[in-house]
A and B are shown apart, each in its own frame.
Chain A
Amino acid sequence: MKNDEYRVTKYEPLANKARGIFLMKEKAKILDTEGIQRAIMRIAHEIIEKNKGGLGLCVVGIRNRGVYIAQRIAACIKQIEGIDVATGALDITLYRDDLALATGQPRVRKTEIDFDINDQNLVLVDDVLYTGRTIRAALDALIDFGRPKSIQLAVLVDRGHRELPIRADFVGKNIPTSKKESVEVHLQESDGCDEVLIAEKE
């Protein structure tokens, strides 16, 4: 990675600042708007290549940000192949393996998969791949909806440190991190801007 990609920005969430809490140190911007869009476009191309077109394909994003990335991937596939790919949203809260020990109450959100996933090539989408536990929960949830022909995994960022035997088929950017760091993905749809930041936890 080129050095100039690490544009260092000062960043503290305003609410925390107001309360005098400064949790995060300086952050490095790993991807900007163009970088994210290029990565998503490349993933879309790779998905089409691997699946020999867009037929029999569906895209399911994991709440929250995975859903927006999934929608963008579907839009890119439409642009490339001219095919409308079914897009869904998956909430994995009820399948979490740490539900009984969750600190801070997880909010249950809606799962919206209003199409048949049986015999489809299903691309599961998330923003960051880390321990792999979210993906494990998502796989369990998907199986309750049917039996896809295949499930493939696309992530915007792979930061390493897997705790389960899970890997991604399509990766926007590999970012080697230490466990002390945090990776934040901000998207226009949820956060008002497109960027991927890496920060040291204090």
Chain B
Amino acid sequence: MISWTKKDLLGLEYLTPEEITLILDTAESFKEVSTREIKKVPALRGKTAVNLFYEPSTRTRVSFEVAAKRLSADVINIATETSSVKKGETLIDTGKNIQALKADIIIVRHNCSGAANMLARTLDISVINAGDGWHEHPTQALLDIFTLKERFGVIKGLNVAIVGDIAHSRVARSNIWGLTKLGAKVTLCAPEMLLPPEIELTGAKTSHNLDEVLKNTDAVNVLRMQFERDEGAAFPSQLDYYKKFGITEERLAKAKKDIVVMHPGPINRGVEMSSEVADGANSVILEQVTNGIAVRMAVLFLVSQAKDAKK
């Protein structure tokens, strides 16, 4: 039986299949806590977790806050717009100050890839990556995989399609690492310009034909189109994208009957998928949100335990 020894969670690229499985198993135990009348256990009593978000977020930030509070940790939220970051304080300086305040865990989201890794190298306290640039968003991928595991029992051998803006997506990258490590077959489906070059090196296949991909897919993870990153003429229009890559009921009718539809949120309804699909029987989008709490509880618990063990 393996144990968790890392003080940080920076990305799924750095984890072994056994470590990923340990997080998923631990999350399964934590899921029950949220079904209790008193949704709280004392495991992280006396610990302080700081949410340090340099990018907007509701789902992830609130999910981490709920998870930490259900473990009895104290949570502090730092919104960078109203903090010293506005006065030009660097990420490292902010991190060191939070450490000097004797916090135990920093949950960081940043628009630069590698921000969490840099912070983790500099600080002694635990760092959890809540999304860094186009690099990784490990807890999102873990909750996606957790949801798949609940549905299918095993990940090994599953055909999973990731559709949409692969190039700008940290969710896609974390999912590719996690899923391939656990033995799933991953197919990336996107317009040419939204597929990064050499992405096949990760072990995932690529395609531009959604209908073809859906025929043989157990689950489809639909990414948000990040129109805020519009890079000019080659970027597809919303309508154009919807026609070629939007998940609609007509498309699903030709796919496997019990195909699972996932989305990390927030959804652009009528762009990545139709409203009927988002709210339909194949959608597990809200289950993903619920599972996110259990997965983040497991991660907070494991990094905190590893930190204590090293004392």
**Which residues of A does B touch, CB under 8 Å?**
91, 93-95, 99-112, 140-141, 144-146
Contact = CB atoms under 8 A, between A and B. Distances in A.
A141 B38 CA distance: 10
Nearest to B298: A108
Given A91-B29, A99-B305, 16 more contacts: A94-B33, A94-B43, A94-B301, A99-B43, A99-B308, A101-B308, A102-B308, A103-B309, A104-B309, A105-B4, A105-B306, A106-B305, A108-B29, A108-B30, A140-B42, A146-B37
A104 B41 CA distance: 21
Chain B at the A interface: SS class: helix
B3 A105 contact: yes
B29 A144 contact: no
A94 B308 CA distance: 14
A108 B301 contact: yes
B96 interface: no
Per DSSP, chain A at the interface is: loop
B32 A111 contact: yes
A144 to B, nearest CB: 4
B6 to A, nearest CB: 12
B110 to A, nearest CB: 29
A91 B3 CA distance: 18
B1 interface: yes
Contacts of A99: 43, 305, 308
Interface of B: 1, 3-4, 26, 28-30, 32-33, 36-38, 40-43, 71, 298, 301-302, 305-306, 308-309
A10 B36 CA distance: 46
A102 B32 contact: no
Contacts of B32: 110-112
B29 A105 contact: no
B125 to A, nearest CB: 15
A161 B308 CA distance: 28
A161 B30 CA distance: 32
Contacts of B29: 91, 108-111
Nearest to B42: A95
Contact of A108 (B26, B36, B37, B40): B26
Contacts of B302: 105
A79 B114 CA distance: 63
Contacts of A140: 42
Contacts of A106: 305
A199 B33 CA distance: 37
A146 B33 CA distance: 14
Contacts of A101: 308
A110 B28 contact: yes
A94 B305 contact: no
A103 B206 CA distance: 46
Nearest to A141: B41
B300 to A, nearest CB: 12
A18 to B, nearest CB: 17
A140 B43 CA distance: 12
A144 B309 contact: no
A102 B305 contact: yes
Contacts of A108: 26, 29-30, 298, 301
A145 B30 CA distance: 15
Given A109-B29, A112-B32, A145 B309 contact: no
Contacts of B308: 99-102
B40 A144 contact: yes
Contacts of B33: 94, 111
A146 B37 CA distance: 8
B48 to A, nearest CB: 14
A101 B308 CA distance: 7
Nearest to B301: A108
**Which 9 residue pairs are nearest across A and B when measured between Cβ atoms?**
A105-B3, A94-B43, A94-B41, A108-B29, A144-B38, A110-B29, A108-B26, A100-B308, A111-B32
